[in-house]
Amino acid sequence: MSFNIALNFEDGVTRFISCNTGEKILDAAYRQKVNLPMDCSDGVCGTCKCHCASGEYALGEDFLEEALSEEENQQRQVLTCQMVPQSDCVIDVPVPASACKTGIGSFQATVIRSSTLSSSAIELVVEPEKGIDFLPGQYVNIQVPGTAQVRAYSFSSLPGDTHASFLIRNVPDGLMSTWLLQHAKAGEPLTLTGPMGSFYLRPVQRPIVMLAGGTGLAPFLAMLKKLAKSPVNQPITLLYGVTKENDLVMTDALDELAQRLPNFSWLPVVTDAGSACAQKGFVTDHFNDALLNDGDVDVYLCGPPPMVDAVLRTLQERQITPASFHYEKFAPGKTAEQSAAA
């Protein structure tokens, strides 16, 4: 038996390794040519200290408190030279990937279809040459065929699926949008690089509030599909904000997920005052005390910079500090800016 271990480096690169039953993380990484920080490898120096963001593990007692204090142990700091996983795990490594003699992986995929969902959204479905490991919420860079340019898109599909899907904003005269609308054909090759990003689903410990702006819905579809495979008891609420009513896409998928996740509900929010949608304005207009739960919530936000700034400002004005707050900004035609704050 082996476990899937996600190593998240401080520069946003994620590298997946397999760890055998009873094997230490440091040994598994070195076996797969990832040189995690280390010095003594005996639990003495603390050089290999990382943080386990999720998953079960054993550390044993064969390390010095100078290397890992009891307080650090309680905070899920780990020594990779002593850590033996007991489930799949996510580990935050406090150095860039290049310092560990590893980097971003590239892989090939072929286009299955490119579909116009609305005037503002395109769905791209590809078949990777092999299964893609990523954390729900993460993104890849896709090279625009015929150019050296790349664009960043979050997965809307599940890790390991035979097909990978993405929601792409239709930018007038945009490089990728133009290619998808005018040139993309089934079987066309694409180069993907990643996965990357610190915006991903954490273990569910309290109510979750998801805030999506336009095609920022994509990572939440991946997260919700993951949660639907192992339903949780905490309430999950998605506010899905768009400019016009016809910008709402994948609503059937959201309704189907609501059937599979009894504690999940979603609300469309439309800026256009002439919309028939019951919730008009911006997502921040629909914050309420029940939703924010006096700050005992995990907030996930993916949308354009003005939306991110508005949410941050509104939370500050309401004097609400969420238990955790994770966000991703994106701008048309540019590589996504990944950010997270706890």
pLDDT in tens, 198-225: 899 999 999 999 999 999 999 999 999 9
pTM: 0.90
> Of 152, 167, 140, whose CA–CA distance to 336 is shortest?
152
> Of 9, 30, 81, whose CA–CA distance to 17 is shortest?
30
pLDDT of residue 335: 44
Distances (CA, A) of 98 to 23, 37, 56, 162, 335: 24, 11, 27, 30, 20
pLDDT of residue 62: 80
> Of 281, 335, 334, 341, whose CA–CA distance to 316 is shortest?
341
* Share in percent of the chain as helix, strand, coil (round to 5): 25, 35, 45
pLDDT of residue 336: 43
pLDDT of residue 332: 56
Q: Would you list the DSSP string of 49-112?
A: EEEEEES-EE--S-S-TTTS-HHHHHTTEEETTT-EESS-EEEEESS-GGGGT----EEEEEEE
Q: Read off the amino acid at residue 300.
A: Y
The structure tokens listed for 142 are 């896709």
pLDDT of residue 134: 95
> Of 88, 69, 71, 92, whose CA–CA distance to 80 is shortest?
92
pLDDT of residue 342: 31
Collect the ranges in the chain with pLDDT lower than 50.
334-342
Burial of 20 (0-12, 13-18, 19+ CB in 10 A): middle
Phi then psi dihedrals of residue 72, to 5 deg: -65, -40
- Which positions ≥6 away from 300 have C-beta within 8 Å? 137, 199, 201, 208, 209, 210, 211, 219, 220, 223, 326, 327
pLDDT of residue 331: 64
**SS3 state at 333:** coil
Q: Would you list the DSSP string of 170-227?
A: --TT-HHHHHHHHT--TT-EEEEEEEE-S--PPP--S-EEEEEEGGGGHHHHHHHHHH
CB 241 within 8 A of CB 283: yes
pLDDT of residue 329: 78
Tell me how far apart the alpha carbons of residues 247 and 265 are, in angstroms, rounded to a whole number. Answer: 19
Q: End-to-end alpha-carbon separation of the chain, Å?
A: 33
CA angle 217, 103, 151 (to 5 degrees): 35
pLDDT of residue 150: 95
- Which positions ≥6 away from 97 have C-beta within 8 Å? 9, 11, 13, 15, 103, 104
